[in-house]
Amino acid sequence: MSENELLKSWEESPMLKPKIEKVVVNISVGKSGEPVEKAAKILKDLTGQNPCKRKAKQTIRNFGIRKGEPIACIVTLRKQIAIELLKKVLPVVDNKMSENRFDKYGNFSFGIKEHIEIPGVKYEPEIGIFGMDVCVSLTRPGYRVKKRRRKKAKIGSKHILTPEEAMAFVKDTLGIEIV
């Protein structure tokens, strides 16, 4: 289906129109202590929410990481806050995204090398510079049936989001150019 046909079908049946379920922003530092606290401060300033610290799953002696040590922080955003963050962060990648960043279910992710590239964020020498990963999960209305605890059910193959539909949705709502 072409992009125009997809947009018309979404107008006719709103249950087919994709939506942004969540946006996950992750800063993986690789060290515990002060660097994780600095990364958490950056995420809190950027998103307005308290980040959750993630612990190392295994010990890696060469890197000086012990199992159970906090080495990353993560924030999950939903609804309007997620869309606002995406609109703030996407100019860093020039509002362009390649096709291979989309998985087979329509989700996509991209990385930011330096957080100071985000408009409105100023460099603070005592904090430093961190990179981050932004992962966007797209769904359709009705996906809850698959994830709920009681009376789980399968989703039909025609209702599963495809990468082409996700690309059309992202072009339409966020103004991203697919390269």
Provide the pLDDT confidence category of residue 9 given band limits of 50, 70 and 90: confident
Q: What angle do CA 168, 9, 90 make, to 5 degrees?
A: 20
pLDDT digits (tens, 9 = 90+) for 25-81: 999 887 878 888 898 998 898 888 999 998 888 888 887 888 888 889 999 999 999
Q: What structural domains and CATH numbers belong to the chain?
A: 3-178 (3.30.1440.10)
The DSSP secondary structure of 58-75, one letter per residue, reads: S-BGGGTB-TT-EEEEEE
CB 108 within 8 A of CB 170: yes
pLDDT at 138 over 90: yes
Q: How far is CA 142 from CA 115, 129, 136, 160, in A?
A: 35, 40, 18, 10
The DSSP secondary structure of 26-66, one letter per residue, reads: EEE-SS-SHHHHHHHHHHHHHHSSPPEEEE-SS-BGGGTB-
pLDDT at 153: 93
pLDDT digits (tens, 9 = 90+) for 96-133: 888 889 998 889 999 999 888 888 888 888 888 888 99
Give the mean pLDDT of 9-31.
88
